[in-house]
A and B are shown apart, each in its own frame.
Chain A
Amino acid sequence: MISTSNKASKILLGFSLAISLFSSSAYGKKVSVTVQNLTHGSHFTPLLIAAHNESSKLFQAATAASAHLQAMAEGGDTKGLIADLDAAGAVHTSATALLAPGESYTGDMLDITNSDNNTLSLVGMLLPTNDGFVGVSSWRIPSTPGTYILPGLAYDAGTEANDELLGLADAGTPGNAGVPGAPSGSAGMNGSGAAEVDTNRKIHIHRGVLGDTDSTGGTSDFDSRVHRWLNPVARITVTVTE
């Protein structure tokens, strides 16, 4: 039942051979993940979906964001997180395009046969936000085959003030103020800044974007009638097969 058609899974099996001698799992196990964007007018930057071991984490609420998590949350850059996952022997799949409101993305099947990669995480930046991201953190993949539905919550990385300003230079670079883009349109300009500091510098549940109805001024460059959302911002469908 173990697929040998995939080179990546072969390498993984080789890596985990020593462990598999002691593993009780004598059958293949695969995980498919679909993410649907449930927001009205916010995009997700290309999603990163991973099955990893229990001691690895992409992020954890109420703890400080790693520099790699910050790069994803402020600019959609997942390279650092992918390097972390590779170092931990995780399996992962990534989207190559933005996920528009209402749309779904299904990643490549993750093969976790005979590995300890039995924990699921996913991340993608929410646009437009300063450092908001949709995430699932270390969800234990059930041993029972089936389809499972999870809420995808919007988190705030706690690394950048939510000024809700567009058009600032290099806004997607970690540490720089501003929002790198509003792909759904409807954004304004010349706002004065919706917030000056992040009170909570740890990763937390996003309080939502504020926006306003003034496209040429006001405090925010977001449109409160278009860019607001409530949790959950995504519907995650996980299918576990043997």
Chain B
Amino acid sequence: MINLKKPLNTSILLSTLVLSACGGSDSTSASNMKTYKVTISNVTANQPLSPATLVIHKSGYQLFQAGHKASVALEKLAEGGSNTELLEQANKNNAVLAKASGTGIIPPGSSESIELSVNNSADFMLSVATMLVNTNDAFAGKTTTKIANLSKGASLNMHIPIWDSGTEANSEAANTIPGPAGGGEGFNKNREDDVNFIAIHQGVVTHADGFMTSALDESHRFTNPGAMLRIERVK
């Protein structure tokens, strides 16, 4: 995947140049408007995803950073599936150009498409996050995917890895799992019983593997990626 990036970006850039050369000068500055259809597919076996969080932004905004402390807003998403505070904070950030929430839970095997429009000539990026609700504090997320140079009709397909927000111990106890496997508590501000930094998730253990106090069964296990991301520039 690493080697893939440069040649692809180059080809996107080239096709943009060709297109703009053919397009002539009939369009004015108002045509900086670009619309993206972002599709998130839940490819886990049995982990419903909380309503998706989508932010298009310039540098100066970070939804989350690997190895760093989660913001309280991200903790609320990772532990309880709520993106309200993340979107409120995005709204106040000057680097944010567009934001959106999914309409609801994305069940395993389902996809949701959300359109966002941006009227800006900056080299902007897309960041996304959503909770795996049958966990303590796992979320699928991908940050800073550059999309500004995507030509009309072109698309990107990417994997979304699963992270542990590091804000809640992975007890897997029913009273700490907000999804249908537990029906327990979501957000709890206490972070003292975990590492307090964001890392790739180590997976869930479940009672099928001898963790007898776990509310999870073998169907709740996962490997990476947890979701697929498709970004298509439609206008």
Q: How far is the CA of A144 from the CA of B109 in the complex (A)?
A: 34
- 0/1 interface trace, chain A 203-231, chain B, CB 8 Å (1 if under): 11111101000000001000010000011
Name the A residues within 8 Å of B4 (CB-CB). Answer: 142, 148-150
A200–B108 contact, CB under 8 A? yes
Task: State whether A207 and B222 are in contact (beta carbons under 8 Å apart), knowing that A62-B109, A199-B45 are contacts in the complex.
Answer: yes
Q: Is the CB of B1 within 8 A of A150?
A: yes
Q: Does A13 contact B (CB under 8 A)?
A: no
Q: How far is the CA of A201 from the CA of B7 in the complex (A)?
A: 36
Are A207's CB and B223's CB within 8 A? yes
Task: Tell me which of A149, A156, A219 contacts B1 (CB under 8 A).
Answer: A149
Restricting to B202-224, which residues have a CB under 8 Å from any CB of A?
A: 203, 208-209, 218-224
The answer on a CB contact under 8 Å between A158 and B2 is no
Chain B residue nearest to A200 (CB atoms) is: B108
Q: How far is the CA of A78 from the CA of B110 in the complex (A)?
A: 27
B118 is an interface residue with CB less than 8 A from chain A: no
Measured between alpha carbons, how far is A151 from B224 in the docked complex, in Å?
11
CA distance A148 to B2 in the complex (A): 8
Contacts of B44 in A (CB 8 A): 200, 204-205, 207
Contact B223 A205 (CB under 8 A): yes
| A23 proximal to B (CB < 8 A) | no
Contact B109 A200 (CB under 8 A): yes
- Residue pair A200, B46 in contact (C-beta under 8 Å): yes
Chain A residues within an 8 Å CB radius of B46: 199-200, 207
Asked whether A154 lies within 8 Å of B223 as measured between CB atoms, the reply is: yes
Q: Given A199-B108, A204-B43, check contact A149 B2 (CB 8 Å).
A: yes
Q: Which of B2, B223, B225 contacts A208 (CB 8 A)?
A: B223
Q: Which of B87-109 contact A (CB under 8 A)?
A: 108-109
Which residue of chain A lies nearest to B208 when distances are taken between CB atoms in the complex? Answer: A210
Chain A, Cβ-Cβ closest to B108? A200
* A200 proximity list for chain B (CB < 8 A): 44-46, 108-109
Given the complex, which residues of A lie within 8 Å of B221, measured CB to CB? Answer: 207-208, 210
Q: Chain B residues with Cβ under 8 A from A151's Cβ?
A: 1, 159
**Residue A202, interface by CB 8 Å:** yes
B8 at interface, CB cutoff 8 A? yes
**Cβ-defined contact, B108 with A230, below 8 A:** no
Please tell me if the beta carbons of B45 and A61 are within 8 angstroms of each other in the complex. Answer: no
**B contact residues around A150 at 8 Å (CB):** 1, 4
Complexed CA–CA distance, A194 and B45 (Å): 15
Q: Which residues of A contact B190 (CB under 8 A)?
A: none
- In Å, the complex CA distance between A128 and B43 comes to 21
Collect the chain B residues with CB atoms within 8 Å of residue A208's CB. Answer: 203, 221-223
* Contact residue among A62, A138, A156 (Cβ-Cβ distance under 8 Å from B110): A62
Closest Cβ neighbor of A150 among chain B residues: B1
Q: Are B223 and A230 in contact (CB under 8 A)?
A: yes
Cβ contact within 8 Å between A62 and B228: yes
Residue in contact with B7 in the complex, picked from A148, A156, A162, CB distance below 8 Å:
A148
A210 and B157 alpha carbons, distance in the complex (Å): 30
In the complex, A25 has a CB within 8 A of chain B: no
Contact B219 A199 (CB under 8 A): yes
CB distance from B109 to the nearest CB of A (A): 3
A205 near B208: Cβ-Cβ < 8 Å: no
Q: How far is the CA of A205 from the CA of B203 in the complex (A)?
A: 13
Tell me the nearest residue of chain A to B223, going by C-beta.
A231
How distant is B159 from chain A, measured CB to nearest CB, in Å? 8
- Chain A residue numbers with a CB within 8 Å of B109 are 62, 158, 200-202, 204
Q: Is B11 an interface residue (CB 8 A)?
A: yes
Does A153 belong to the interface (CB within 8 Å)? yes
Give 5 pairs: A residue, B residue, CB < 8 Å, sorted on A.
A62-B110, A151-B1, A162-B218, A205-B225, A206-B223
A-B pairs with lowest CB-CB distance, top 9: A202-B109, A62-B41, A200-B108, A144-B7, A207-B221, A199-B46, A207-B45, A205-B43, A204-B43
| 7 more A-B residue pairs beyond the given contacts A62-B110, A199-B45, with a C-beta to C-beta distance below 8 A | A61-B43, A149-B2, A162-B218, A199-B108, A205-B43, A207-B218, A219-B208
